Amino acid sequence: MTENGAAPGLSAAEVAERVRDGRVNDVPTRSSRSVGEIVRANVFTFFNGLMGTLFLVVLVVGPLQDALFGFIVIANAAIGIVQELRAKHTLDSLAVVGESRPAVRRDGRTARVAQHEIVLGDLIELGPGDKAPVDGTVTEADSLEMDESLLTGEADPVVKRPDDAILSGSFVTSGGGAFTATRVGREAYAARLADEASRFTLVHSELRTGIGRILRYCVGIMIPAALGLILSQLLVERADVREAIRRMVAGIVVMVPEGLVLITSVAFAVGVVRLGRRQCLVQELPAIEGLARVDTVCLDKTGTLTEGGMDLAELHALGGTSEECARRVLGALGAADRRPNASLRAIADACPPPPDGLRAADTLPFSSARKYSGAVLTGGDGGGTWLLGAPDVLLPEGHPQLVETERLNARGLRVLLLAATDRALDAPADARRHPPEPAALVVLEQRVRPEAAATLRYFADQGVAAKIVSGDNAVSVGAVAARLGVPGADHPVDARTLPDPDEEDDNGDGTAAVERATVLGRVTPEQKRALIHALRARGHTVAMTGDGVNDALALKDADIGVAMGSGSEATRAVAQIVLMDDDFTTLPSVVAEGRRVIGNIERVAGLFLTKTVYSVVMAVAVICTAVPYPFLPRHLTLLSALTIGIPAFFLALAPNTERARPRFVRRVLRIAVPFGLIAGVATYTVYLLARGHYEGRTDGALRAETSAATLTLFLITLWVVVIIARPLTWWRVLLVAAMGAAFLLVMAVPWLQRFFELRLAGWFLPWTAVGVAVVACVLLEVTVLVRRARARGRGE
């Protein structure tokens, strides 16, 4: 035992012995996919397998020029791997910074160690907000209450006494204590928790799900079209099987939207890197997308809108208690709590422990549900049972001191009541029958974050409703909200007066009242959770920010949970996004990244699917008319690079502030299907005209027909890029011009003509191709106008 009677924990020799035996908490906390998983995810895909097979076929039957698409697939996979590795490095670095370090008692001394350094039998200390890193048995308990909702789903705190079991993943809501580790490493529940938390993942995303549906549509269309194309080309070109295979491969390759998944992964990964530079840890990648879809954000006041620290501004002695006595009692209360919250830290800083030996014989830690703490003091002037907490909880309604409390709260100050009681410390507060005797009003001044007002204005400008949710007095919360310019701050709502949103009546008053309220005070942790449920039930996408243990349940159940890096371990464990430097201004950056990803992926998805649609149209037309396929693989590789691949890469990473909207797949198909039909019909029309015009000529006739069709398709798809890239900023105009110049270079330089087998013959067909392309571009613009008119009619 140590001098104060507490267990000393393991000795250094015992720790060393357990490390040698491998009895350590050796489960690695993964903040990202492994290098092997990243490589496999970018290389071993269905589309890469298909393209790789076709690549090998072309290498056998054709020249290297027709296998260029294979090298592009390799380059795309390499780009994806590099970007994800950069994102992995960012995530891993931030995760190490944000990883909690449990307090472990060894040789009678307490030290912070990394989670993987915990050994079997270690004595681990716990305080409010701490999460149990391993399984164990309670050794010491000082009013210890654990929340096991992350494990069992039960929201009520569980009182823990010596010899009770503790499971990793549960966290302390009030009190403190210590427990002995009985299961570590992969034997503990933490093994699964560490594998699920802080992970780089691309699942459960509306964007990813939509792209998956698009790819399934493509496969469903591609398989029968490819089979028909194979048979038709073998029948048409039976005299030249190699030529038939080359043109068959060209028809299949162009149907594959393989770059769509790559561009999406790259856009997400770049977003992680960008936010990482701002000390924002994205624990689940779809959170970037999710926050962009949020229309309601619930903000905890303390630690989010205000800084964690406070200052003792005033002390109003009441009744027969002198200010000196009140300070002595407050000093003793501050010294008695080994893990004080922000309020008690401010009091302890202003009121040092009394020198006459006034000490706490028993303590009651602060609880968010109780709204007060207490202690039994002995050994000096001021002995007795004292409570410190919310005046409107400890005093009955209509008490004279509540008027003064309201006046102080209206100034944005936080007010606590110091009161004496003759009841047992752990007896439930009963303000009506047994009110305590008021001794002093403790007035604390909160520090409002200087950046909070600008961030709230940003949300208001973007149409995102902000709700201030706090356990503090509603009037005080309203005053702080008013200083930040929050609409509705002059009508704060006491959450105790709200109907239960989970038990709303037929008129829906429960959830409607929650939706109308903007500033809510005296909100319990369970009410925060119910509030999130109510808002989601009314169709809102909700984000919740917080830093305290009382916010953990709400963060877990919100669509997006945002935790402060300096907050409790419990909130960091359940949040999808952690602001490592507590910089509230990072939130607009996260929203902007999400909108950039969603808006730009929707743009480039239109490019990729337009290609799939026009390739299917031409394949069906070729099958029905029994003619050679218009293109070789090299032609479509060139077109895909200049009108899809290169533009899509730049457009996917460009700034985009458009609000995220639902029904991603429907909107993409509404633009891609008509664009693809127009491009396919126009190109095939020129091809048939060229076959008729050059009929009977054998010298380069097929090359001239293909060249005319290629020119037509390039002009139309380049205009599709123009439409999708709008609004046309200077760099987007430059991008389109560069793609046009590159194509002209291919058509003008002799060795490039030979390399790509492209050469326009005469004047009639080239200008016919341009004319048809112009008509098709006009039809594209008409399609855009019709789509916009219909969207306005639907209210989109």
Closest by alpha carbon to 45, among 267, 265, 318?
265
Contact 647, 640 (CB under 8 A): no
Whole-number pLDDT of residue 197: 40
Does a structural domain hold residue 251? yes
Residue 133: domain span:
12-29+99-189
For residues 182 and 180, what is the distance between their CA atoms, to the nearest angstrom? 6
Query: Within this chain, do residues 366 and 486 fall inside the same structural domain, yes or no?
Result: no
In the block, residue with structure tokens 């003008």: 748
Whole-number pLDDT of residue 685: 94
Query: Within this chain, do residues 206 and 254 fall inside the same structural domain, yes or no?
Result: yes
Cα–Cα distance list, 411 to 399, 474, 484, 521, 755 (Å): 20, 12, 13, 15, 78
Q: What are phi and psi of 430, to 5 degrees?
A: -130, 85
| 150 — pLDDT class (breaks 50, 70, 90) | low
Angle (CA) 360 364 368, round 5°: 145
Closest by alpha carbon to 598, among 644, 665, 536?
665
Q: What is the greatest pairwise CA distance in the chain?
A: 117
Across 116-120, 505-509, 790-794, the highest mean pLDDT is recorded for 116-120
Read off the amino acid at residue 770.
Answer: V
**pLDDT tens per residue, range 729-774:** 999 999 999 999 999 999 989 888 888 888 887 788 889 999 999 9
Domain closes at, from 189, 219, 245: 189
Whole-number pLDDT of residue 743: 95
Contact 415, 392 (CB under 8 A): no
Contact 356, 324 (CB under 8 A): no
Does a structural domain hold residue 212? yes
Tokens (6 digits) for 733: 């105009």
Query: Within this chain, do residues 719 and 599 fall inside the same structural domain, yes or no?
Result: yes
Q: What are phi and psi of 544, to 5 degrees?
A: -130, 130
Please list the residues that pair with 446 across neighbouring strands.
Answer: 310
Query: Within this chain, do residues 595 and 744 fall inside the same structural domain, yes or no?
Result: yes
What is the CATH number for 227? Answer: 1.20.1110.10
Residue 511 pLDDT > 70? no
In the block, residue with structure tokens 């009314």: 538
Query: Within this chain, do residues 640 and 723 fall inside the same structural domain, yes or no?
Result: yes
Buried/exposed 119-141: b ≥16 CB within 10 Å, e otherwise: bbbbbbbbbbbbbbbbbbebbbb
**To which H or E segment does residue 466 belong?**
strand 465-469
Residue 202 pLDDT > 50? no
Query: Within this chain, do residues 410 and 533 fall inside the same structural domain, yes or no?
Result: no
C-alpha dihedral (77, 83, 88, 89), degrees to nearest 10: 130
Contact 369, 524 (CB under 8 A): yes
Domain closes at, from 155, 189, 223: 189
In the block, residue with structure tokens 């590789």: 637
Sequence-distant (≥ 6) Cβ neighbours of residue 129 within 8 angstroms: 171, 172, 548, 549, 567, 568, 569, 570, 571
Higher model confidence: residue 198 or residue 295?
A: 295
Whole-number pLDDT of residue 55: 81
For residues 515 and 528, what is the distance between their CA atoms, to the nearest angstrom? 13
The whole-number average pLDDT for the span 564-572 is 74
Whole-number pLDDT of residue 678: 96
Read off the amino acid at residue 648.
Answer: A
Give the SS3 label for residue 254.
Answer: coil
Cβ atoms within 10 Å, residue 187:
15
**pLDDT tens per residue, range 347-366:** 988 998 887 778 888 888 88
Does a structural domain hold residue 91? no
Q: What is the number of residues in the chain? A: 796
For residues 441 and 316, what is the distance between their CA atoms, to the nearest angstrom? 5
For residues 362 and 340, what is the distance between their CA atoms, to the nearest angstrom? 15
Does a structural domain hold residue 6? no
| Strand order across the beta sheet in which 372-378 lies | 306-317, 437-448, 414-421, 384-389, 372-378, 359-364
**To which H or E segment does residue 262 belong?**
helix 258-276
For residues 794 and 388, what is the distance between their CA atoms, to the nearest angstrom? 57
Does a structural domain hold residue 382? yes
Contact 246, 61 (CB under 8 A): yes
The whole-number average pLDDT for the span 198-204 is 42
Whole-number pLDDT of residue 502: 54
* Of the candidate ranges 90-99, 462-471, 488-497, 683-692, the one whose mean pLDDT is the lowest: 90-99
pTM exceeds 0.75, yes or no: no
Sequence-distant (≥ 6) Cβ neighbours of residue 386 within 8 angstroms: 329, 333, 374, 375, 376, 377, 418, 419, 420, 421, 439
For residues 725 and 569, what is the distance between their CA atoms, to the nearest angstrom? 44
In the block, residue with structure tokens 């070729």: 622
| 715 — pLDDT class (breaks 50, 70, 90) | very high
The whole-number average pLDDT for the span 538-548 is 85
Closest by alpha carbon to 456, among 437, 480, 435?
480
Whole-number pLDDT of residue 506: 45
Whole-number pLDDT of residue 774: 96
Residue 570 pLDDT > 80? no
**pLDDT tens per residue, range 57-77:** 777 776 777 777 777 677 767
For residues 198 and 90, what is the distance between their CA atoms, to the nearest angstrom? 12
For residues 216 and 326, what is the distance between their CA atoms, to the nearest angstrom? 72
Whole-number pLDDT of residue 156: 64
Tokens (6 digits) for 629: 């396929």
Does a structural domain hold residue 7? no
Residue 516 burial by Cβ neighbours in a 10 Å radius (0-12, 13-18, 19+): exposed
Q: What are phi and psi of 716, to 5 degrees?
A: -70, -50
What is the CATH number for 383? Answer: 3.40.1110.10
| 505 — pLDDT class (breaks 50, 70, 90) | very low
Residue 45: HSE in the Cβ half-sphere, 13 Å Cα cutoff: 22
Query: Within this chain, do residues 209 and 65 fall inside the same structural domain, yes or no?
Result: yes
Tokens (6 digits) for 229: 């194309």
Query: Within this chain, do residues 632 and 740 fall inside the same structural domain, yes or no?
Result: yes
Whole-number pLDDT of residue 3: 44
Does a structural domain hold residue 773? yes
Residue 83 pLDDT > 60? yes
The count of structural domains within the chain is 4
- 577-579 and 123-126: which strand pairing? unpaired
Closest by alpha carbon to 200, among 246, 269, 146?
269
Residue 30 pLDDT > 70? no
Residues marked as catalytic? 300
In the block, residue with structure tokens 């549906």: 213
Read off the amino acid at residue 772.
Answer: V
For residues 183 and 185, what is the distance between their CA atoms, to the nearest angstrom? 7
- 577-579 and 280-282: which strand pairing? antiparallel
Residue 5 burial by Cβ neighbours in a 10 Å radius (0-12, 13-18, 19+): exposed
In the block, residue with structure tokens 């112009």: 774
Query: Within this chain, do residues 381 and 287 fall inside the same structural domain, yes or no?
Result: no
Tokens (6 digits) for 715: 């002009």
Query: Within this chain, do residues 536 and 430 fall inside the same structural domain, yes or no?
Result: no
Closest by alpha carbon to 707, among 775, 614, 634, 631?
631
What is the CATH number for 119? Answer: 2.70.150.10
Whole-number pLDDT of residue 783: 93
C-alpha dihedral (306, 311, 316, 320), degrees to nearest 10: 120
For residues 405 and 417, what is the distance between their CA atoms, to the nearest angstrom? 9
Domain closes at, from 539, 564, 582: 582
Query: Within this chain, do residues 109 and 17 fall inside the same structural domain, yes or no?
Result: yes
- Output the average pLDDT for the chain: 81
Beta strand extents in 100-193 (DSSP E only): 103-106, 109-112, 123-126, 135-147, 158-159, 165-166, 171-183
- 493-494 and 519-521: which strand pairing? parallel
Does a structural domain hold residue 94? no
The whole-number average pLDDT for the span 283-311 is 77
Residue 694 pLDDT > 80? no
Query: Within this chain, do residues 348 and 404 fall inside the same structural domain, yes or no?
Result: yes
Contact 388, 374 (CB under 8 A): yes
Please list the residues that pair with 147 across neighbouring strands.
Answer: 171
For residues 439 and 450, what is the distance between their CA atoms, to the nearest angstrom? 34
